[in-house]
Amino acid sequence: MEQVIGYTIGEANVLYAHALVSKARMGTYVILSYDEGEVLGLITSVVRGSRLIGDDFSDLETLGKIREFDNAKTTYMKANIRLIMDLSKGTTPDTPPPPGTPVKLAGDDVLRNLLQDSNDATITIGNLIGNEDVPVNINIRYLASRHLAILAATGSGKSNTVAVLSSGIAEIGGCIVIYDYHGEYINSDIREKHVIQPFINPLYLTSSEIAELMNIRENATNQQRVLRKAIKSLRGNIEKGVDSNSEFTQLLSDAIEAKGERSEKGYGEDKKAITDLLNKIEDFEDRYAYILRWDAPPVTSNLMLGRVNIVNLEGLDDNVIDAVISHYLKNILEARKAYKHGRQGLPFPVINVIEEAHIFLSNTDNTLTKYWASRIAKEGRKFGTSLIIVSQRPKGLDPGILSQMTNKIVMKIVEPEDQKYIMSSSDNLSEDLINQLPALAVGQAIIVGMIVRIPVLAKIRKFEGVLGGADPDVMAEWSKAKEKAEENERIGREISNMGEQL
């Protein structure tokens, strides 16, 4: 029999009710029975007060005497309840509960049925806060089609959440790609990992991509025209097997200079545009020469099913990382489009994880990654290409992209501006839930969206292994460094003594 913990009081609507309760905690699910039905609710906040000791109480001596009485008879507890679902209809409630409606604890069986969708593949990401017997499952179909944002302050558990999700996706045979900014996942114990080096074959770069990487403005039409012709000529030579072992930038310079020689013979090419292009190639080479390799296969051929595909971006400059991520996003989306339209392409869906998303999906700066992520956010669902964006600075994210992340896993967020920004971009994250973010412990999260059937306050399970981004053991490292310094000093003294003896 379900335990009655209180009764509704005051006015209610179809979204919220208030209750006087004997016990409650944030994140507890309750059932309200009225109008011949049952409505599931979630306690989103709790306050405790005293009928004798109000906010304006100022007599310290009297307060001490009052405390000698039985507090249970003088104190009260009130809860705000968010009404979630009419259990008999499977829809949001259409009538509010009347005053005096019993508030009962929701049974584990009810919650398990709601959090486990038997019609779709799911992975277990954790359990309900305060109830380890009820697992929290993520719907993979909606994760792979509706996009997800993982938002949290530094050290709150973002990387652990990504590791748990990605390992689960790999275990059920899916394809996930992590663009590893800090080397957290490459240097982890993820058993299913498949590390990909960030090399790009210049033959698979379009003229417009190369122009973007060379910082050639769209209105620089002469430079754009000369570059297109030079690249076309270069590719023709490569396909014939000419100079295929040379550096791409050298071949491109040769092709542009060839245009200059033809210009002097009256072919009409713009000499200034050619000179400007040659100057820009030097900067282009300094930035991108490392990642350009003739032997690099098409990026989509690097992807493996049933593995956590990790693109190694550790130690690269942000502009290089931007080029790599955007190239992957572009080619994955286009390969999925080709396959869906009956042409040769990528025959399986792909989930892309962008770490440090506030850098590459900024609300102020335009990047190549931002352009292609925006394309995937808007149209990727139709082609089985989705995004997981991860950030500790939500207010730094592009609002258009963030609003497309209809699924959200939000962990501890203290900064009020970040909280407001998250709420303004979300239809399913209400103020009462946002207000709970500062109180969340490490690893705790609010999960909303189609990946869960009801809003969930969850404890994300700990990844079984080591992540490269874990906090360092500073005491151990200091101790080790001190021992090393003392050892070096000892060896130095011994060598010095040997020299004196000789």
Phi, psi of 56, deg, nearest 5: -95, 10
Dist. CA 40–CA 487, nearest whole Å: 66
Phi, psi of 269, deg, nearest 5: -70, 150
Q: What is the DSSP letter of 183?
A: S
Dist. CA 374–CA 456, nearest whole Å: 28
pLDDT at residue 139 in the model: 92
Dist. CA 134–CA 260, nearest whole Å: 71
Q: What is the DSSP letter of 128?
A: E
Dist. CA 150–CA 357, nearest whole Å: 10
Sign of the Cα torsion 8, 10, 16, 18 reads negative
Helix (H) or strand (E) holding 117: none
pTM for the whole structure: 0.85
Tokens of 237: 């030579």
User: DSSP of 187-239, one letter per residue?
Assistant: TS--TTEEEE---B-GGGS-HHHHHHHTT--TT-HHHHHHHHHHHHHHHHHHH
Q: Give the distance, in angstroms, between the CA of residue 13 and the centroid of all CA atoms in the same chain.
A: 34
* Tokens 């806060």, residue located: 129
Contact 122, 116 (CB under 8 A): yes
Q: Which residues of the chain have pLDDT under 50?
A: 265-268
pLDDT at residue 117 in the model: 66
HSE-up (13 A, CA, CB side) for residue 236: 7
Give 3-state DSSP helix, strand, coil % of the chain, rounded to 5: 40, 25, 35
pLDDT at residue 265 in the model: 45
Contact 151, 422 (CB under 8 A): yes
Instruction: Quickly count: other Cβ atoms within 10 Å of residue 102's Cβ.
Output: 17
Instruction: For residue 6, list its beta bridge partners.
Output: 21, 103
Dist. CA 365–CA 377, nearest whole Å: 18
pLDDT at residue 380 in the model: 93
